[in-house]
């Protein structure tokens, strides 16, 4: 640390107790829903060091856990981080305290969806939960994901008019044509005979 | 040998050639694949990101069908494999009332399945066209190995069994550091910009290690690495032209399966030039 600090700099280093008032109810809720002890995290940052998508996050994984410990519910649930997490399980595999961090991310995403926080996240991640919904819709419809149909569902959910204007839709169409030309697109969906069983599971779930 | 087979949704669409080459290799090794009747999607990333019950119930239904059949379940898709293993482990502790599953059958990924001694021997004896001189980077991705508590993988940071299969059929697998790095599969449509950065890392590392192609065991990894290369080349100004194989395609090629031409036609980065140069086509 520098030896000469101005008065302002010194005061900026002083703990400001009033600015942080930990609320442990969020930590408890996350713990109950995920079955994980987030309080065990001591910020060794192994998770953030190995995270392949940390460059696109607003808070690193260890910071996110710290925020959960402090009860910063709104900031965590409206963060980009929880949607950027690609569920690659590297953090879960390497955590020295055996916290299933990717599992905690699942819990945070589910909590965000349950209270509409996904609409408050940064615009560049708002399409990610819509992708998941399009994917689940496709399963609900036929028991299996029909890729081509799922892509169309996703496009319809994610502002197709703006994408038409920006040219993104055309790019997507060209891409689809490439895939089609190489025999990678299955045109007609296959519905399993027992679609009713699948619909029942969806009804029982929160989705 | 007879086993139950769970292809998964991708193998009916973008990764049809993974399904076809898997079936061809199994036929050559005298393995009878009994496709699970009425199987459903495992839920993949989208289910576990959004709903705990669905993420368990969807794979549980498949496990229950497989157990009624009484045969071990072989799964070629790494992502499906991981979701089925998660369900297997969770159901052992907390059974779901919706489906009966007692854990009497085993869930195996295709690589581990082929790596049993009896099949390795058959494979080695069956090689008609050794893949001599083909330098491959074996790319395992995330979900075949992680987390090890779920997948039961032993070498989860530096897995070896795909390398061993490739070397067994005459190819030369390179040593490299990105074997189990993520390609961003679940962000394929929603954040292609992230995916492009991830596949660049992976392809650069494979090339730097001296590989001429990448071999995969996950349909998402294969398509991600294959279909986004054109965009990557455009963005970087560097010409990426790295063939990306399903590992079963190369096994099939070595075993002399006639389907190889049809499988290769489905690749966006054509492997023909590379394989032709090695005298393998």
CA distance B176 to A177: 34
The pLDDT, as a whole number, for residue B57 is 97
Structure tokens at B22: 């898997």
Residue range(s) in chain B whose domain bears CATH number 1.20.1050.140: 2-112
pLDDT at residue A17 is higher than 60: no
Q: Which chain A residues touch B40 with a CB distance below 8 Å?
A: 139, 143-144, 192, 194, 198
In the predicted model, what is the mean pLDDT of residues A164-188? Answer: 88
* CB crowding B13-50: b at 16 or more within 10 Å, else e: bbbbbbbbbbbbbbebbebebeebeebbbbbbbbbbbb
Contacts A–B by Cβ distance under 8 A: 165
Nearest to A41 by CA among A31, A50, A32, A33: A31
B49 neighbourhood in chain A, CB within 8 Å: 87, 106, 109-110, 129, 132
* 3-class secondary-structure state, position B131: coil
Q: How far is CA A188 from CA A137, A199, B18, B28, in A?
A: 16, 20, 19, 31
Fold of B2-112: Glutathione S-transferase Yfyf (Class Pi); Chain A, domain 2 (1.20.1050)
Assigned token pair, B30: 């005298």
Task: Provide the residue ranges of all domains of chain A, joining segments of one domain with +.
Answer: 22-121, 126-204
Cα(B120)–Cα(B13) distance, rounded to whole angstroms? 29
Sign of CA dihedral A176, A180, A182, A188: positive
- Taking CA atoms, A159 is separated from A82, A114, A162, B227, in Å, by 22, 22, 6, 24
Q: Regarding predicted confidence, which is higher, A189 or B247?
A: B247
Residues of chain B with CATH 3.40.50.11810: 130-277
For chain A positions 69-88, those within 8 Å of chain B (CB to CB) are 84, 86-88
d(C-alpha A207, C-alpha A129), whole Å: 12
Flag if A90 and B148 touch (Cβ within 8 Å): no
Q: What is the DSSP string of B16-29?
A: HHHHHHHHHHHHHT
Structure tokens at B223: 């398509």
Question: B201: number of CA atoms within 13 Å, CB side?
Answer: 15
Helix (H, G, I), strand (E, B) or coil at B129: coil
Q: Are the beta carbons of A93 and B148 separated by less than 8 Å?
A: yes
For range A119-146, the mean pLDDT = 96
Separation between Cα atoms, residue B125 and residue B163, nearest integer Å = 18
For chain A, how big is the Rg over CA atoms in Å?
Answer: 22
Structure tokens at B195: 């995916």
Is the minimum CB–CB distance between B252 and chain A shorter than 8 Å? no
The mean pLDDT value for A1-8 works out to 60
Q: Please choose, from the candidates B10, B222, B244, B31, the residue with its C-alpha nearest in 3D space to the C-alpha of residue B118.
A: B31
The reply to whether residue A145 touches residue B9, judged by beta carbons under 8 angstroms, is yes
pLDDT higher than 70, residue A194: yes
**Low-confidence winner among A130-134, A160-164, B213-217 (lowest mean pLDDT):** A160-164
Only one residue has tokens 């140069």, namely: B277
pLDDT beyond 70 at A78: yes
Query: What does the pLDDT read at residue A163?
Result: 86
Indicate the helix (H) or strand (E) that contains B75.
strand B73-75
**pLDDT score of A167:** 87
Report helix, strand or coil for B5: strand
CA A23, CA A28: separation in Å to the nearest integer? Answer: 10
Cα separation, B28 vs A129, in Å, equals: 43
Binary contact (B40, A52; C-beta < 8 A): no
Please tell me whether the peptide bond between B147 and the residue prior to it is cis, using omega within 30 degrees of 0.
Answer: yes
> CATH 3.20.20.70: does it fit domain B130-277?
no
More confident residue, B86 or A189: B86
Q: Please tell me the number of Cα atoms within 13 Å of A66 on its side-chain side.
A: 12
How far apart CA A113 and CA A136 sit, in angstroms, is 14
Say whether pLDDT at A43 is over 90: yes
Residues 4-33 (A) with a CB less than 8 A from some CB of B: none
**Interchain proximity A90–B146, CB inside 8 Å:** yes
pTM assigned to the model: 0.94
The C-alpha atoms of residue A72 and residue A77 are separated, in whole angstroms, by 9
**Residue A166 pLDDT > 50, yes or no?**
yes
Q: Which of B185, B198, B194 is nearest to A57 (CA)?
A: B194
Helices A127-142 & A195-204, crossing angle to 10 degrees? 140
Ranges in chain B, pLDDT < 70: none
Is the confidence at residue A143, as pLDDT, over 70? yes
B156 part of contact set with chain A, CB < 8 Å? yes
Q: How confident is the model at residue A4 (pLDDT cuts 50, 70, 90)?
A: low
């Amino acid at each position: 640390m520098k030896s000469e600090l101005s008065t302002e700099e010194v005061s900026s280093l002083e703990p400001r107790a009033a600015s942080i008032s930990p609320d442990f109810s969020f930590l408890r809720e996350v713990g109950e829903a995920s079955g994980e002890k987030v309080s065990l995290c001591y910020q060794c940052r192994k998770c953030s060091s190995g995270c392949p998508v940390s460059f696109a996050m607003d808070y690193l994984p260890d910071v996110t856990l710290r925020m959960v410990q402090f009860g910063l519910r709104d900031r965590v649930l409206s963060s980009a981080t929880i949607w950027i997490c690609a569920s690659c399980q590297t953090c879960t595999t390497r955590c020295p305290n055996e916290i299933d961090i990717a599992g905690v991310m699942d819990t945070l995403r589910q909590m965000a969806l349950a209270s509409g926080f996904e609409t408050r996240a940064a615009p560049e991640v708002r399409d990610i939960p819509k992708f998941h919904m399009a994917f689940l819709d496709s399963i609900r419809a036929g028991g299996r994901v029909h890729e081509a149909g799922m892509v169309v569902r996703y496009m319809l959910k994610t502002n197709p008019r703006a994408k038409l204007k920006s040219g993104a839709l055309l790019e997507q169409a060209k891409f689809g044509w490439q895939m089609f030309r190489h025999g990678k697109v299955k045109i007609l969906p296959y519905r399993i005979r027992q679609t009713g069983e699948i619909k029942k599971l969806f009804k029982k779930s929160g989705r | 040998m007879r086993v139950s087979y769970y292809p998964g949704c991708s193998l009916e669409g973008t990764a049809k050639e993974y399904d076809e080459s898997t079936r061809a290799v199994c036929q050559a090794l005298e393995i009878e694949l009994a496709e699970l009747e009425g199987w459903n999607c495992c839920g993949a990333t989208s289910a576990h990101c959004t709903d705990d019950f669905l993420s368990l119930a969807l794979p549980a239904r498949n496990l229950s069908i497989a157990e009624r059949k009484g045969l071990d379940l072989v799964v070629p898709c790494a992502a499906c494999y991981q979701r089925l293993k998660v369900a297997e482990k969770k159901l052992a502790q907390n059974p779901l009332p919706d489906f009966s599953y007692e854990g009497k059958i085993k869930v195996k990924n295709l690589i581990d399945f082929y790596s049993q001694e009896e099949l390795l021997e058959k494979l080695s004896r069956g090689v008609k066209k050794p893949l001599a001189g083909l330098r491959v980077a074996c790319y395992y991705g995330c979900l075949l190995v992680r987390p090890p508590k779920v997948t039961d993988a032993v070498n989860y940071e530096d897995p070896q069994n795909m390398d061993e299969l490739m070397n067994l059929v005459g190819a030369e697998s390179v040593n490299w550091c990105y074997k189990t790095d993520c390609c961003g599969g679940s962000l394929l449509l929603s954040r292609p910009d992230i995916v492009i950065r991830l596949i660049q890392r992976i392809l650069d590392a494979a090339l730097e290690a001296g590989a001429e192609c990448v071999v995969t065991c996950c349909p998402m990894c294969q398509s991600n690495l294959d279909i986004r290369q054109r965009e990557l080349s455009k963005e970087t100004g560097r010409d990426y032209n790295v063939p990306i194989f399903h590992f079963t395609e190369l096994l099939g090629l070595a075993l002399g399966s006639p389907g190889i031409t049809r499988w290769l036609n489905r690749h966006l980065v054509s492997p023909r030039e590379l394989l032709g140069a090695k005298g393998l086509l």
